[in-house]
Amino acid sequence: MMRHIISALVENKSGVLARMVTLFAARGFNIDSLTVGETDDPSVSRMTIVVRGDEKILEQIEKQLNKLIDVIKVYEYSGAEHIERDLVLMRVKADKSNRSEILQIVDILHGTIVDVSRESVIIEVTGDERKIQAFINMLKPFGIKEMVRTGVIAIARGK
Rounded average pLDDT over 130-157: 95
- SS3 assignment for the chain: CCEEEEEEEEECCCCHHHHHHHHHHHCCCCEEEEEEEECCCCCEEEEEEEEECCHHHHHHHHHHHHHCCCEEEEEECCCCCEEEEEEEEEEEECCCCCHHHHHHHHHHCCCEEEEECCCEEEEEEEECHHHHHHHHHHHHHHCEEEEEECCCEEEECCC
pLDDT of 159 above 80 = no
CATH 3.30.70.1150 is held by the domain 83-156? yes
Structural class in CATH, domain 3-76: alpha beta
Please give the backbone phi and psi of residue 99, each rounded to the nearest 5 degrees, phi first: -60, -45
Examine the pLDDT at 79 and tell me if it is beyond 90: no
CATH 3.30.70.260 segments of the chain: 3-76
pTM of the model: 0.84
pLDDT of amino acid 88: 96
Digit-coded pLDDT (tens) for 54-67: 888 788 888 888 88
Position 3 pLDDT exceeds 70 = yes
What does the pLDDT look like over 16-31, one tens digit per residue?
999 888 888 887 888 9
* For residues 86-91, average pLDDT: 96
Q: Mark residue 78 as left, alpha or beta (left: phi above 0; alpha: psi -120 to 50; beta: remaining).
A: alpha
Residue 133 has pLDDT above 90, yes or no: yes
User: What average pLDDT is seen over the chain?
Assistant: 92
Residue 68 is predicted with a pLDDT of 87
Residues of the chain with CATH 3.30.70.1150: 83-156
